[in-house]
Amino acid sequence: MDLYAMDAWFLISATLLAVSGGAKLADPAPTSGALAAASLPSGRPWARLLGLVEIAVAVVAIAFGGVVGGVGVAVMYAGFAGFVAVALRRNLPVQSCGCFGKVDTPPTWLHVAVNLSAVTAGVGVAVSGGGALPDMLSGQPLAGLPYLVLLGVGVFALYLILAELPRLGRPVTGLPVTGLPVSGLPASGRP
C-alpha cells in the first residue's frame, strides 16, 4: 500500500474514532447495552469512558501519528473487531454495536473487516512513523484544503458503510402496505 494512501486511511480511521467517541458521550445507552449483552462492564459511565478514550486516542493519532498514534488506533480497532466478531459468532442479542451512539448500527462481518483494515493502517503508521495530519498538510496545495475535503468525504463514506449499508437489506417497517396504489393502479389492482 502506498504510504500516502495508508496515512489517509489511518487519518480517516482516527477521525471516525473521534466521531464514534463523541457519539458515545452524547448517547451512551446503545454502547452500554452492547457491553451488557457481552457480559462486559457496562452502564452509562463505562460507555462514556470508552468514548473519552476513543477521543483521546484519536487526538493523539491525528496530531502526532507515529508509533503511539498508530498503536493506539490499532489497539482500539482490534478491540472493536474482536467485540463485533464475538457478538456475531455467539449470536449475542446485540441490536447495535453502539459505535455511533445509535441503536440501529447493527454489527456485521463487514464491520469486522473495516475494523481490521483500520488495524492494518494503525500498524503501518506505527512502523512507518507517518500519519500525523500536520505533516500531511505541510506539502499540500491550497494549504491542504483539498486533502481535508478528501478526509471528510472518506470519514462520511466509512460512516455510511458501517451505519447505513447494513440497514439497506432490512425490510422497511411501519408503513401500511394495503390500499397503496401500485404502478398507477387503484388499490383494487384493477384499472
- How far is it between the farthest Cα atoms of the chain? 70
Q: How many CB atoms lie within 10 A of CB 86?
A: 15
What's the pLDDT tens digit per position in 49-63? 999 999 999 999 999
What's the pLDDT tens digit per position in 145-160? 998 999 999 999 988 8
Q: How many CB atoms lie within 10 A of CB 76?
A: 25
Cα 157 to Cα 61, 80, 147, 181, distances in angstroms = 20, 19, 15, 35
Handedness of CA 152, 158, 117, 80 (dihedral sign): positive
Question: Is the pTM here over 0.85, yes or no?
Answer: no
Cell output for 92: 449475542
DSSP 89-107: HTT---S---TTS-TT---
The pLDDT of residue 169 is 67
Work out the burial of residue 150: count CB atoms within 10 Å of its CB; fewer than 13 is exposed, 13-18 middle, 19 or more buried: middle
pLDDT higher for 4 or 152? 152
Q: How many CB atoms lie within 10 A of CB 33?
A: 18
Alpha-carbon gap, residue 44 to 50, rounded angstroms: 10
Say yes or no to pLDDT of 144 above 70.
yes
pLDDT higher for 82 or 187? 82
DSSP 62-85: HHH-HHHHHHHHHHHHHHHHHHHH
Q: Looking at the chain, list the stretches that DSSP marks H as alpha helix, in order from N- to C-terminal side.
A: 3-26, 29-37, 44-64, 66-89, 109-128, 133-138, 145-159
What's the pLDDT tens digit per position in 81-140? 998 898 889 887 676 666 766 656 777 888 899 999 999 999 999 999 887 888 888 888
